Chains A and B, each alone.
Chain A
């Protein structure tokens, strides 16, 4: 059974940093693109970033490019999102997702809440 479990969310001040983790199990992690998707309160889903199987290609939505960094450790079956220079508008539930292609999101985690507030 595919499982994705996010962790690392919490309350952070504007301008601060946070690192999210996603532990994957039930599939060969190193064979798949992976993504982060977020949902701000009362808003829709927004793709944030994705990373190729070997970590050699990374892509970001314009609003986080230069502030967020996606990475992975295939030996630990883990995906990460380093978030710097956080803004109030980054407040959201962040989901980890397994991606096919990257064309669509096959499996999702339950999400971790990030709140940026003073």
Chain B
């Protein structure tokens, strides 16, 4: 299976909002409500930010929100902060207990 499609990069000024899209197919994103998002600072362990499309783990700021429409999921970061600068990956359940990641999006805080 091919990786889910994400924009290579997005950017915004502190306090602004940015949205990252994640496009798949009916076999993954569109077929299950099991999309998750991960923040990855290079050299560190990835961190779960959103699961089951729109749920936030304990400790994740409510500035992070997720949604899905059809075969496309989205992560929105509101009130952008300097520490949000990182790579972000979406991931979807793809059937038969397999998981599929997106290509990753670099978020830059201007």
Chain B residues positioned under 8 Å from A62 (CB to CB): 1
Say whether, besides A45-B104, A109-B45, A111-B45, A104 and B97 are in contact (CB < 8 Å). no
* Residue total for B at the interface (Cβ-Cβ under 8 A): 26
Give 1 or 0 for each of B32-62: 1 = CB within 8 Å of chain A CB: 0010101010001111100110000100000
In the bound assembly, the distance between CA atoms of A93 and B99 in angstroms comes to: 18
Q: Beyond A104-B52, A108-B47, A110-B44, is A45–B101 a contact (Cβ under 8 Å)?
A: yes
Partner among B34, B57, B89 whose Cβ is within 8 Å of the Cβ of A44: B89
Within 8 A of B (CB), among A18-54: 35, 37, 44-47, 50
- Would you call the interface of chain A mostly helix, strand, loop, or mixed? strand
Residue from A100, A103, A106 having most chain B Cβ neighbours under 10 A: A103
Q: Is the CB of B45 within 8 A of A47?
A: no
Q: Once the chains bind, are B48 and A103 in contact (CB under 8 Å)? A: no
Complex Cα spacing A35 to B98, Å: 10
Q: Quick check: A45 and B89 within 8 Å, CB to CB? A: yes
A47's partner among B34, B57, B100 (CB-CB below 8 A) is: B100
Q: Please, which residues of chain A bring their CB within 8 A of the CB of B45?
A: 95, 108-111
The smallest C-beta distance from A109 to any residue of chain B, in angstroms, reads: 6
The A-contacting residues of B in range 79-110, CB under 8 angstroms, are: 89, 91, 93, 96-104
Would you give the shortest CB distance from A115 to chain B, in whole angstroms? 16
Report if A102 contacts B (CB, 8 A): yes
The CA-CA distance from A110 to B5 in the complex, in Å, is 26
User: Complex: how many Å from CA A35 to CA B40?
Assistant: 17
| A59 beta carbon closer than 8 Å to chain B | yes
Q: Is the CB of A105 within 8 A of B38?
A: yes
Q: Report the minimum CB–CB distance from A38 to chain B (whole Å).
A: 10
A66 within 8 Å of B (CB atoms): no
Which B residues contact A (CB, under 8 angstroms)? 1, 3, 34, 36, 38, 40, 44-48, 51-52, 57, 89, 91, 93, 96-104
Interface of A toward B, CB cutoff 8 Å: 35, 37, 44-47, 50, 57, 59, 61-62, 95, 100-111
Q: List 9 A-B contacts (CB under 8 A).
A: A37-B46, A44-B3, A44-B103, A44-B104, A45-B101, A59-B97, A104-B34, A104-B48, A106-B48
